[in-house]
Structures are given as structure tokens and as C-alpha cells.
Amino acid sequence: MFSTGRFRRALVVVPMLACWAPSVRAQPPIPSSEVALYRVFLRDGTTLLSYGEYARVSDRVVVSLPIGAAGAAGAADAAATPALHLVSIPSDSVDWERTDAYADSVRATRYADTRGPDDFALLSQAVSSALTEIALTADPNRKIAMAAEARQNVMRWTAEHFGYRADRVAEMASLFDNVISETQTAAGIKNFDLGLIANTAAPPSVPLLPPPSLQDSIEQALRAAAVAPEATERTSLLRTIERVLSDAATSGQDAWIAPMRARVGGALAIEERATRGYDVMTRSVLTAATRSAERADVTGVERAIRRALSEDDRLGQRRPQEMASLLAMLDGKLDAARRLRLARDAWAARSELVTKYRASLAQPLYLMRLSRAPLDEIRRLAGPPRARLARLAARTDSAANLMAVLTAPAEGAGAHGLLTNAIKLASRAAALRERAVLSGDMQHAWEASSAAAGALMLFDRAVDDVQALMRIPALQAPR
């Protein structure tokens, strides 16, 4: 809330006019020399130029890096419009105190060169309107309250507008101080608690650096490539620098371009050589680790990890993120190898017991195999004759008796249960088929068919599980 209606309307008009002005008259496009150029100050004392504001994303700073004479007066045509390249650098490599102070100065200078004069003119009009309305107010207390509120809004204007013309705004605030003092004296008002010091913010005082030359921008781009943690970013940035230098070489004969191109070419060769080296090392190490893990060779996987670390040292530790990913995969393979080693050792320790149990299942399995043909006939409601039914019932009874005296080890509990249930269903199928034959009841025949189908299905599963008992544990494929 502002203290007077006119003052309130006038100050509100400031941002409204700023937003509405472009729709009233078309503004010419901003030339490259007028683009706001920010600086990112690094902790080592060097700087990076940012074409427009930088962005902080988690633990990274994303900078639109101009490669060329960004806005430099007299720049060659080839470099007049710089090549822009996004690059991210670690946030902890930035001197944020100097970087933020410089950004405030850039914003203040930009504001002073664009909207500042118009906004200040509107503020001056608003102050004049407020003083006029205060002068026409008869109530002393109301007049003091209006002047105090208007004064606070004037003081706040400077802080909200980058300290633009802070000295003149302080003079405006002092006009309301005078109104308050004169009104108090004339009305004999005492003990009115009001600080009469115009506490306006001063504009940023960090001097702006001139736009870099083409050579300076190339040096800054190389510095950015040195601190960028991503290898792909470094390579892409170096190739952009190489392209800009190639274009500049055709438009001028500066002596520094040739050695700079050689320097960039050398850096690119190092990055490309490192990329090839890490690709070969990654494939080789992963292949060796995978083969060792499949054999439950824990020592072999550990040897592959040591080899990866040794190769990383030999290659200059130039790919920390790729190495972190590789080591994470190798840790997974080491864990898989350890689990498989334990499973195989456990299997070997109990293999004798499992072998004896499997041998004891030979007779029940044999009896059930002989029963497959009559069970299939029962399932299809195609027989068998009563004589074969009697033999089926006798075989299932014998198999059930054999299973009853067996004790399955922990590994064979599943197979034992499946085979026992398969024998019970086979015995039930034989009994139901016998009842259907004696009674001629089709319902009993269908029930026998269902029991026979279940017996065959469970028997096949039991056979698979029994065969798996003697299978050496293998490495599970990743899902």
C-alpha cells in the first residue's frame, strides 16, 4: 500500500509501462556488442566469459561460452558473431563471492543503459504527485503518515532497481523527511518515532571488464575445457575452438593463430587417444571379469579390477566418470562371482547326499514312466482295459510306498513333493477310472481324466527338478 492514491498509481505504472512499451513501438534487435557479458571467476584466479547469465544446476555451473571476439569493437567479421558453446564446470571451482558481485554490476549497468532513465523519470513524476497530494492534506497526522509511507517506498525503489541513481533517490526521500519535520514543528507533535535517514542502497561498484578479443576468448575456452569434468564436453569444445581458429586463419594472418591451432590439435589428440584407450580397456576388462564370474573365479574378477585401476593410472586418470561406471559394473560382477562360489561350494559339500537321494528315486521314477501310457489313455478317455488299470493301480501303490520311506534333503524337497503328488494323482486317476468302468458314469470318467492330466504334468516337473539336483550352479543372467 502507498500513502496516496496518485503516488500509488504512479509507481505501479513504472513496471506496467516497461512491459507495455515493446508492444507500442518495435525495438531494434540487440546487437552482439550489447549482449550482457557475465564473468565466472574461478578459484585459481582466472575467469570464464558467459554470454548471458550462467545457470547453477546441482553441483554444476552451466555457462554459454562465446568463442570469438564477443562484442569487441573492431572485431573481424569472422569473429563478430561468436560461436556459443554450452559447457558445465564444477560449482566448487567457482569463486562465488567475486562472481556474484560482478553479476550484480552487469545487471545494474544493463538496467542503467536500458530501462533505468525511463523508470527514474516515472519515479520523479510519482514523487511530485505525492508531494502535491500531501500538501493538500489538512490533517497533520494524516500528512505525516502519508509522507512516511511514501518515503519508505522511495527508499525501497533503489534496492529493487539495482541501486540506480541512489544519490538522487536519497534526495527525493529527504523531501519527505522535510515534510515530516515541518509538519511536526507546525502542529507541535512530539515523540513521533521515525528514522529520518534515507537508508537507500548504493549501486554495485565492481568495474566491468572489457569484452575479450578473439585470442582472449580462445584462451578462456581452453581454460573451460581444462576444468570441464565431462570428456564429451571437452572434446566438443576443443573441436569448436578448432573450427573458429580455422575460420579466423582464412580471414587474417595473426601470428598467434598457428601455434594456438597446434595447441588445440594436441589437446584434441590427447582426448581422442584417451577415448580409444578407455574404450579398449573397458571392453577387455569387462570380458575378462565376465568370464571369471561365470567360472565363480573371485580371484580372476579381483585381478580384472586391479588391471582397470592400473590402466586408468597409465592413461592419466582422464575419465573419472567412465571409470566410476566401470568399477561399479566390476563390483557387481565380483559380488556375483562370490555368490556363485558359495553356491558351488555348498553344492559340492552336499553332492554326495544329493546323489544318494537321486539314486533312491530311480525305482519310483521307473514305475511312473511305465504308467505314462495308461495315464494318457485315461486323460483322453480312451481306456485302458481293466487288466491294465489293475497293473497301473499296483504300480502307483508300489511307488507311493517307496516314496513314503524316503527322506528328501533340503535341495530335493521340491522335487520330492512334486513326485509324491504326481503318484497320488495317478493312483486317484486309476481308482476313478475303475469306478467309471463299473458304473458307466461319465462324470467319474471326466474326474479320472483331470486327475491323470494333473499326474502327468506334476511328473514332468518332478523329473526336471530331479535332473536339476545334480546340475552345478551357474551365473544367473541379468534381468
211-227: average pLDDT: 87
**DSSP of 353-418, one letter per residue?**
HHHHHHHHTHHHHHHHHHTHHHHHHHHTT----HHHHHHHHHHHHHHHHHHHT----GGGHHHHHH
- The confidence score (pLDDT) of residue 367 equals 94
Q: Is 167 in contact with 158 (CB distance < 8 Å)?
A: no
HSE-up of residue 416 (Cα within 13 Å, Cβ side): 17
**Does the pLDDT at position 34 exceed 80?**
no
Query: How far, in Å, CA of 279 to CA of 13, rounded?
Result: 62
Query: How far, in Å, CA of 407 to CA of 346, rounded?
Result: 20
Cell numbers of 48, please? 570464464
- The confidence score (pLDDT) of residue 217 equals 86
**DSSP of 293-340, one letter per residue?**
HHTT-HHHHHHHHHHHHHHHHHTTS--HHHHHHHHHHHHHHHHHHHHH
- The confidence score (pLDDT) of residue 477 equals 63
Residue 423 lies in a domain: yes
439-463: average pLDDT: 94
- Grid coordinates 581454460 are at which residue? 223
- The confidence score (pLDDT) of residue 198 equals 44
Nearest residue to 32 (alpha-carbon basis) of 79, 80, 102: 80
**Does the pLDDT at position 105 exceed 80?**
yes
Query: How far, in Å, CA of 358 to CA of 471, rounded?
Result: 12
| Average pLDDT along the chain | 84
Q: What percent of the chain has pLDDT over 90?
A: 41
More confident residue, 82 or 23: 82
Q: If pLDDT is split at 50, 70 and 90, which confidence band does 309 have?
A: very high
The distance of Cα 310 from the centroid of its chain, to the nearest Å, equals 29
Query: How far, in Å, CA of 164 to CA of 386, rounded?
Result: 111
- What is the crossing angle of helices 214-227 and 231-251, to 10°? 170
- 59 SS3 class: coil
Helix (H) or strand (E) holding 5: helix 5-24
CB atoms within 10 A of CB 163: 21
Q: Where are the alpha helices (DSSP H) in 114-230?
A: 116-135, 140-160, 166-187, 214-227
Residue 281 lies in a domain: no
- The confidence score (pLDDT) of residue 25 equals 32
**Does the pLDDT at position 456 exceed 90?**
yes
Residues 6+ apart with CB under 8 A from 391: 374
Q: Is 242 in contact with 201 (CB distance < 8 Å)?
A: no
Q: If pLDDT is split at 50, 70 and 90, which confidence band does 186 have?
A: confident
Residue 455 lies in a domain: yes
- The confidence score (pLDDT) of residue 422 equals 95
Q: Which domain holds residue 400?
A: 361-468
Provide the whole-model pTM.
0.58
Q: If pLDDT is split at 50, 70 and 90, which confidence band does 70 have?
A: low
305-320: average pLDDT: 92
Under DSSP, the state recorded for 64 is: E
Each residue of 426-449: pLDDT tens digit?
A: 999 999 999 999 999 999 999 999
Each residue of 328-347: pLDDT tens digit?
A: 999 999 999 999 999 899 88
164: left (phi over 0), alpha (psi -120 to 50) or beta: beta
Residue 336 lies in a domain: no
Q: If pLDDT is split at 50, 70 and 90, which confidence band does 395 have?
A: very high
Q: Is 129 in contact with 146 (CB distance < 8 Å)?
A: no
Residue 444 lies in a domain: yes
More confident residue, 363 or 469: 363
Query: How far, in Å, CA of 170 to CA of 163, rounded?
Result: 11
**Does the pLDDT at position 279 exceed 70?**
yes
Query: How far, in Å, CA of 473 to CA of 477, rounded?
Result: 12
Residue 407 lies in a domain: yes
Residues 6+ apart with CB under 8 A from 404: none
Each residue of 142-174: pLDDT tens digit?
A: 888 898 899 888 888 988 888 888 888 888 888
Query: How far, in Å, CA of 138 to CA of 217, rounded?
Result: 64
More confident residue, 245 or 331: 331
Domain count, the chain: 1
Q: Is 63 in contact with 217 (CB distance < 8 Å)?
A: no
Which of 197-206, 260-269, 403-412, 454-463 is the least confident region?
Answer: 197-206
**Does the pLDDT at position 323 exceed 90?**
yes
More confident residue, 139 or 252: 139
Residue 412 lies in a domain: yes
